[in-house]
Protein backbone atom coordinates (compact mmCIF):
# COMPACT_ATOMS: atom_id res chain seq x y z
CA UNK A 1 0.00 0.00 0.00
CA UNK A 2 1.21 3.49 -0.83
CA UNK A 3 0.41 5.77 2.11
CA UNK A 4 -1.57 8.80 0.96
CA UNK A 5 -3.16 10.18 4.08
CA UNK A 6 -2.81 10.41 7.82
CA UNK A 7 -6.23 10.64 9.43
CA UNK A 8 -6.11 12.59 12.64
CA UNK A 9 -7.65 11.71 15.94
CA UNK A 10 -10.19 14.31 17.11
CA UNK A 11 -7.81 15.65 19.74
CA UNK A 12 -4.66 15.42 17.66
CA UNK A 13 -2.06 18.18 17.81
CA UNK A 14 -1.78 18.97 14.11
CA UNK A 15 1.61 20.64 14.41
CA UNK A 16 3.01 17.67 16.26
CA UNK A 17 1.78 15.24 13.62
CA UNK A 18 3.21 17.44 10.88
CA UNK A 19 6.56 17.43 12.66
CA UNK A 20 6.54 13.69 13.00
CA UNK A 21 5.63 13.32 9.33
CA UNK A 22 8.50 15.61 8.39
CA UNK A 23 10.88 13.48 10.42
CA UNK A 24 9.70 10.51 8.34
CA UNK A 25 10.46 12.45 5.14
CA UNK A 26 6.83 13.14 4.26
CA UNK A 27 5.59 16.28 2.50
CA UNK A 28 2.04 16.87 3.72
CA UNK A 29 -0.95 19.11 3.02
CA UNK A 30 -3.77 19.77 5.47
CA UNK A 31 -7.25 18.54 4.64
CA UNK A 32 -10.07 20.30 6.42
CA UNK A 33 -13.73 19.74 6.92
CA UNK A 34 -16.34 22.39 6.26
CA UNK A 35 -15.86 23.56 9.84
CA UNK A 36 -12.27 24.52 9.08
CA UNK A 37 -10.94 21.82 11.40
CA UNK A 38 -7.97 19.85 10.07
CA UNK A 39 -9.11 16.25 9.83
CA UNK A 40 -6.26 14.67 7.90
CA UNK A 41 -2.86 15.24 6.32
CA UNK A 42 -2.53 14.35 2.67
CA UNK A 43 0.86 12.85 1.79
CA UNK A 44 2.35 14.25 -1.39
CA UNK A 45 3.60 11.82 -3.97
CA UNK A 46 7.25 12.89 -3.87
CA UNK A 47 7.59 11.89 -0.22
CA UNK A 48 9.96 9.21 1.01
CA UNK A 49 8.28 5.81 1.07
CA UNK A 50 7.47 4.72 4.63
CA UNK A 51 5.68 1.62 5.76
CA UNK A 52 2.10 2.51 6.71
CA UNK A 53 2.38 0.56 9.92
CA UNK A 54 5.20 2.83 11.03
CA UNK A 55 3.15 5.90 10.26
CA UNK A 56 0.26 4.49 12.27
CA UNK A 57 2.40 4.79 15.39
CA UNK A 58 2.56 8.59 15.19
CA UNK A 59 0.66 9.99 18.19
CA UNK A 60 -2.48 11.72 16.96
CA UNK A 61 -2.80 9.59 13.83
CA UNK A 62 -5.98 7.56 13.99
CA UNK A 63 -5.58 5.76 10.71
CA UNK A 64 -3.35 5.63 7.64
CA UNK A 65 -5.08 5.49 4.27
CA UNK A 66 -3.40 4.58 1.05
CA UNK A 67 -3.82 3.37 -2.49
CA UNK A 68 -3.10 -0.03 -3.88
CA UNK A 69 -0.31 0.08 -6.42
CA UNK A 70 -2.39 -1.29 -9.25
CA UNK A 71 0.49 -3.55 -10.27
CA UNK A 72 0.64 -6.48 -7.85
CA UNK A 73 2.67 -8.68 -10.18
CA UNK A 74 5.31 -6.03 -10.64
CA UNK A 75 5.42 -5.62 -6.87
CA UNK A 76 6.05 -9.32 -6.49
CA UNK A 77 9.27 -8.95 -8.52
CA UNK A 78 10.76 -6.89 -5.70
CA UNK A 79 14.31 -7.94 -4.95
CA UNK A 80 14.39 -10.68 -7.57
CA UNK A 81 17.16 -11.21 -10.09
CA UNK A 82 16.78 -11.96 -13.78
CA UNK A 83 19.23 -14.34 -15.39
CA UNK A 84 19.78 -14.13 -19.14
CA UNK A 85 22.70 -16.29 -20.24
CA UNK A 86 25.72 -15.10 -18.26
CA UNK A 87 23.98 -11.89 -17.24
CA UNK A 88 22.33 -11.70 -13.84
CA UNK A 89 20.37 -8.46 -13.60
CA UNK A 90 20.14 -7.44 -9.98
CA UNK A 91 23.49 -8.98 -9.03
CA UNK A 92 26.54 -7.48 -10.76
CA UNK A 93 25.95 -4.74 -13.36
CA UNK A 94 25.45 -6.06 -16.87
CA UNK A 95 26.91 -4.64 -20.06
CA UNK A 96 24.63 -4.88 -23.07
CA UNK A 97 26.28 -3.64 -26.25
CA UNK A 98 25.76 -3.84 -29.95
CA UNK A 99 24.84 -1.88 -33.04
CA UNK A 100 21.76 0.29 -33.46
CA UNK A 101 20.78 -1.75 -36.50
CA UNK A 102 21.98 -5.11 -37.71
CA UNK A 103 23.39 -4.09 -41.08
CA UNK A 104 25.38 -7.10 -42.23
CA UNK A 105 26.83 -10.35 -40.87
CA UNK A 106 30.29 -8.79 -40.82
CA UNK A 107 29.20 -5.72 -38.91
CA UNK A 108 27.32 -7.60 -36.25
CA UNK A 109 30.13 -10.11 -35.80
CA UNK A 110 32.59 -7.27 -35.37
CA UNK A 111 30.26 -5.68 -32.82
CA UNK A 112 29.90 -8.95 -30.94
CA UNK A 113 33.65 -9.27 -30.73
CA UNK A 114 33.99 -5.69 -29.48
CA UNK A 115 31.20 -6.24 -26.95
CA UNK A 116 32.67 -9.44 -25.63
CA UNK A 117 36.11 -7.93 -25.32
CA UNK A 118 34.71 -5.09 -23.25
CA UNK A 119 32.98 -7.45 -20.86
CA UNK A 120 29.49 -7.49 -22.29
CA UNK A 121 27.35 -10.55 -21.73
CA UNK A 122 24.41 -9.49 -23.89
CA UNK A 123 24.43 -8.41 -27.54
CA UNK A 124 21.89 -5.83 -28.65
CA UNK A 125 20.98 -5.08 -32.25
CA UNK A 126 17.90 -4.03 -34.16
CA UNK A 127 16.66 -6.17 -37.03
CA UNK A 128 13.37 -4.27 -36.99
CA UNK A 129 13.91 -0.55 -36.45
CA UNK A 130 11.24 1.96 -35.47
CA UNK A 131 11.85 4.98 -37.71
CA UNK A 132 10.02 8.27 -37.51
CA UNK A 133 10.14 8.67 -41.27
CA UNK A 134 8.59 6.01 -43.51
CA UNK A 135 11.44 6.60 -45.93
CA UNK A 136 14.23 5.69 -43.49
CA UNK A 137 16.00 2.33 -43.46
CA UNK A 138 13.99 0.15 -41.13
CA UNK A 139 16.09 -2.90 -40.65
CA UNK A 140 17.16 -6.13 -42.27
CA UNK A 141 14.33 -8.13 -40.71
CA UNK A 142 14.34 -11.88 -40.47
CA UNK A 143 17.69 -12.17 -42.15
CA UNK A 144 19.18 -9.74 -39.66
CA UNK A 145 17.76 -11.73 -36.77
CA UNK A 146 19.70 -14.73 -37.99
CA UNK A 147 22.95 -12.80 -38.26
CA UNK A 148 22.42 -11.46 -34.75
CA UNK A 149 21.90 -14.92 -33.28
CA UNK A 150 24.93 -16.31 -35.08
CA UNK A 151 27.16 -13.48 -33.93
CA UNK A 152 25.98 -13.82 -30.34
CA UNK A 153 26.52 -17.56 -30.34
CA UNK A 154 29.96 -17.20 -31.85
CA UNK A 155 30.98 -14.97 -28.96
CA UNK A 156 29.06 -16.52 -26.09
CA UNK A 157 26.59 -13.68 -25.72
CA UNK A 158 22.87 -13.59 -25.06
CA UNK A 159 20.62 -11.61 -27.43
CA UNK A 160 18.23 -8.74 -26.81
CA UNK A 161 16.37 -7.37 -29.82
CA UNK A 162 13.29 -5.29 -30.40
CA UNK A 163 9.94 -6.54 -31.59
CA UNK A 164 7.66 -3.95 -33.15
CA UNK A 165 4.81 -5.94 -34.62
CA UNK A 166 2.35 -8.42 -33.19
CA UNK A 167 3.04 -10.49 -36.29
CA UNK A 168 6.77 -10.75 -35.61
CA UNK A 169 6.56 -11.81 -31.99
CA UNK A 170 7.13 -15.48 -32.76
CA UNK A 171 10.05 -14.82 -35.06
CA UNK A 172 11.73 -12.58 -32.53
CA UNK A 173 10.97 -14.90 -29.63
CA UNK A 174 12.78 -17.68 -31.48
CA UNK A 175 16.00 -15.67 -31.61
CA UNK A 176 15.94 -13.41 -28.56
CA UNK A 177 16.84 -14.33 -25.01
CA UNK A 178 15.35 -11.04 -23.90
CA UNK A 179 12.62 -9.42 -26.00
CA UNK A 180 12.75 -5.66 -26.21
CA UNK A 181 9.70 -3.41 -26.38
CA UNK A 182 10.78 0.04 -27.52
CA UNK A 183 9.83 3.38 -26.07
CA UNK A 184 7.37 4.25 -28.86
CA UNK A 185 5.51 1.01 -28.11
CA UNK A 186 5.46 1.23 -24.34
CA UNK A 187 1.73 1.74 -24.49
CA UNK A 188 1.07 -0.37 -27.57
CA UNK A 189 -1.16 -2.65 -25.58
CA UNK A 190 -1.85 -5.16 -28.35
CA UNK A 191 1.89 -5.69 -28.72
CA UNK A 192 2.42 -5.98 -24.97
CA UNK A 193 -0.25 -8.66 -24.77
CA UNK A 194 1.28 -10.60 -27.62
CA UNK A 195 4.82 -10.30 -26.31
CA UNK A 196 3.66 -11.46 -22.89
CA UNK A 197 2.16 -14.55 -24.49
CA UNK A 198 5.59 -15.51 -25.82
CA UNK A 199 6.51 -16.19 -22.18
CA UNK A 200 10.03 -14.85 -22.41
CA UNK A 201 11.75 -12.19 -20.30
CA UNK A 202 11.12 -8.69 -21.61
CA UNK A 203 13.19 -5.51 -21.64
CA UNK A 204 10.67 -2.67 -21.46
CA UNK A 205 11.88 0.78 -22.44
CA UNK A 206 10.20 3.82 -20.97
CA UNK A 207 8.10 6.00 -23.26
CA UNK A 208 9.57 9.42 -24.01
CA UNK A 209 6.98 11.14 -21.86
CA UNK A 210 5.71 8.35 -19.67
CA UNK A 211 5.28 8.58 -15.96
CA UNK A 212 6.77 5.92 -13.72
CA UNK A 213 3.24 4.75 -12.94
CA UNK A 214 2.36 4.24 -16.60
CA UNK A 215 5.61 2.40 -17.13
CA UNK A 216 4.94 0.01 -14.27
CA UNK A 217 1.40 -0.60 -15.49
CA UNK A 218 2.78 -1.59 -18.88
CA UNK A 219 5.15 -3.98 -17.13
CA UNK A 220 2.16 -5.36 -15.24
CA UNK A 221 0.39 -5.96 -18.53
CA UNK A 222 3.33 -8.00 -19.81
CA UNK A 223 3.34 -10.10 -16.67
CA UNK A 224 -0.41 -10.63 -16.78
CA UNK A 225 -0.11 -11.77 -20.37
CA UNK A 226 2.52 -14.35 -19.51
CA UNK A 227 5.98 -12.78 -19.39
CA UNK A 228 8.00 -14.43 -16.62
CA UNK A 229 9.78 -11.20 -15.73
CA UNK A 230 10.49 -7.68 -16.93
CA UNK A 231 13.71 -5.67 -16.91
CA UNK A 232 13.06 -1.92 -17.19
CA UNK A 233 15.19 0.37 -19.34
CA UNK A 234 15.40 4.14 -18.83
CA UNK A 235 16.49 5.85 -22.06
CA UNK A 236 15.76 9.50 -21.48
CA UNK A 237 12.57 11.46 -21.64
CA UNK A 238 11.60 14.50 -23.59
CA UNK A 239 12.30 17.81 -21.98
CA UNK A 240 15.81 18.59 -23.04
CA UNK A 241 16.90 21.95 -24.31
CA UNK A 242 18.37 20.89 -27.59
CA UNK A 243 21.95 20.49 -26.48
CA UNK A 244 21.35 16.89 -25.55
CA UNK A 245 19.10 14.39 -27.31
CA UNK A 246 16.92 13.50 -24.34
CA UNK A 247 16.89 14.01 -20.60
CA UNK A 248 18.07 11.05 -18.55
CA UNK A 249 15.87 10.59 -15.49
CA UNK A 250 18.17 8.99 -12.94
CA UNK A 251 15.76 9.91 -10.17
CA UNK A 252 13.38 7.37 -11.65
CA UNK A 253 16.17 4.81 -11.80
CA UNK A 254 16.99 5.30 -8.13
CA UNK A 255 13.30 5.13 -7.24
CA UNK A 256 12.70 1.92 -9.16
CA UNK A 257 15.84 0.30 -7.83
CA UNK A 258 15.81 1.36 -4.18
CA UNK A 259 12.10 1.68 -3.44
CA UNK A 260 10.52 -0.79 -5.87
CA UNK A 261 13.40 -3.26 -5.94
CA UNK A 262 13.13 -3.84 -9.68
CA UNK A 263 15.75 -4.68 -12.28
CA UNK A 264 16.52 -1.59 -14.31
CA UNK A 265 19.15 -0.74 -16.87
CA UNK A 266 20.06 2.55 -18.48
CA UNK A 267 20.62 3.38 -22.14
CA UNK A 268 22.86 6.45 -22.08
CA UNK A 269 23.33 6.34 -25.84
CA UNK A 270 19.77 7.38 -26.61
CA UNK A 271 19.51 9.52 -23.51
CA UNK A 272 22.27 11.92 -24.43
CA UNK A 273 22.92 11.16 -28.09
CA UNK A 274 26.38 12.70 -27.93
CA UNK A 275 29.36 10.43 -28.11
CA UNK A 276 31.45 12.77 -25.95
CA UNK A 277 29.10 12.48 -22.96
CA UNK A 278 27.90 8.86 -23.04
CA UNK A 279 30.68 7.69 -20.76
CA UNK A 280 29.85 10.27 -18.09
CA UNK A 281 26.19 9.32 -18.04
CA UNK A 282 27.10 5.64 -17.97
CA UNK A 283 29.13 6.26 -14.84
CA UNK A 284 26.31 8.23 -13.27
CA UNK A 285 23.82 5.47 -14.02
CA UNK A 286 25.94 2.84 -12.33
CA UNK A 287 26.60 5.10 -9.36
CA UNK A 288 22.92 5.48 -8.64
CA UNK A 289 22.25 1.78 -8.77
CA UNK A 290 21.42 0.79 -12.34
CA UNK A 291 21.65 -2.95 -12.93
CA UNK A 292 23.28 -2.50 -16.27
CA UNK A 293 24.04 -0.35 -19.28
CA UNK A 294 22.86 -0.65 -22.84
CA UNK A 295 25.33 0.87 -25.24
CA UNK A 296 25.30 1.41 -28.98
CA UNK A 297 28.56 0.56 -30.68
CA UNK A 298 29.89 0.26 -34.18
CA UNK A 299 33.19 -0.95 -35.57
CA UNK A 300 33.05 1.98 -38.03
CA UNK A 301 30.53 4.68 -37.03
CA UNK A 302 31.01 6.43 -40.38
CA UNK A 303 29.28 3.56 -42.15
CA UNK A 304 26.50 2.95 -39.60
CA UNK A 305 23.07 2.83 -41.20
CA UNK A 306 21.42 4.33 -38.14
CA UNK A 307 22.37 6.56 -35.20
CA UNK A 308 26.06 6.54 -36.09
CA UNK A 309 26.76 9.84 -34.28
CA UNK A 310 26.05 8.19 -30.95
CA UNK A 311 27.82 4.88 -31.58
CA UNK A 312 30.92 4.21 -29.52
CA UNK A 313 34.06 2.79 -31.03
CA UNK A 314 36.51 0.36 -29.46
CA UNK A 315 38.37 2.63 -27.10
CA UNK A 316 35.26 4.35 -25.80
CA UNK A 317 33.50 1.05 -25.21
CA UNK A 318 36.46 -0.26 -23.29
CA UNK A 319 36.19 2.66 -20.91
CA UNK A 320 32.55 1.82 -20.30
CA UNK A 321 33.51 -1.81 -19.73
CA UNK A 322 36.09 -0.66 -17.20
CA UNK A 323 33.39 1.24 -15.30
CA UNK A 324 31.37 -1.92 -15.03
CA UNK A 325 34.36 -3.95 -13.97
CA UNK A 326 35.25 -1.39 -11.29
CA UNK A 327 31.74 -1.32 -9.83
CA UNK A 328 31.79 -2.67 -6.27
CA UNK A 329 28.93 -5.00 -7.15
CA UNK A 330 31.04 -6.59 -9.90
CA UNK A 331 33.93 -7.27 -7.65
CA UNK A 332 31.82 -8.66 -4.84
CA UNK A 333 30.33 -11.52 -6.86
CA UNK A 334 32.36 -14.57 -7.77
CA UNK A 335 33.58 -14.42 -11.35
CA UNK A 336 31.45 -16.44 -13.72
Smallest distance, a second copy to C-beta of residue 123, A: 22
How far, in Å, CA of 270 to CA of 235, rounded? Answer: 6
**Nearer Cβ to a second copy, position 162 or 177?**
162
CA 37 remoteness from chain centre: 44
Smallest distance, a second copy to C-beta of residue 315, A: 14
**Nearer Cβ to a second copy, position 54 or 86?**
54
Question: Residue 66 is inside which H or E element, if any?
Answer: strand 61-67
Instruction: Centre a 10 Å sphere on the Cβ of residue 19 and count the other Cβ atoms it contains.
Output: 12
Residue 162, classed as helix, strand or coil, is: strand
**Nearer Cβ to a second copy, position 116 or 196?**
196
Cα angle 99-102-105, degrees, rounded to a multiple of 5: 110
Contact in structure between 26 and 20 (CB atoms under 8 Å): no
Smallest distance, a second copy to C-beta of residue 302, A: 4
Smallest distance, a second copy to C-beta of residue 187, A: 4
Smallest distance, a second copy to C-beta of residue 228, A: 16
**Nearer Cβ to a second copy, position 47 or 83?**
47
Smallest distance, a second copy to C-beta of residue 154, A: 27
Alpha carbon distance, N-terminus to C-terminus of the chain: 38
Q: What is the CA radius of gyration of the chain?
A: 22
Which residues partner with 5 through β-bridges? 42, 65
How many helices and strands (H and E) does the chain possess?
Answer: 13, 14
**Nearer Cβ to a second copy, position 116 or 215?**
215
**Nearer Cβ to a second copy, position 91 or 217?**
217
Amino acid sequence: MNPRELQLAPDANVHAVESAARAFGLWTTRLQGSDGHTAALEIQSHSQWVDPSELATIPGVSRVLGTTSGHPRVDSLKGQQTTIGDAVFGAAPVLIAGPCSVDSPEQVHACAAMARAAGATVLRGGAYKPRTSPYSFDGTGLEGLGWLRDAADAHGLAVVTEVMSERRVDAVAEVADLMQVGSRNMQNFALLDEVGRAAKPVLLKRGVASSVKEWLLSAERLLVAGAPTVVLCERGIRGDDGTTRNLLDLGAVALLKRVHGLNIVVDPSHAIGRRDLIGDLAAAALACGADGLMIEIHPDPASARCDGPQALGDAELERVGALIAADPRSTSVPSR
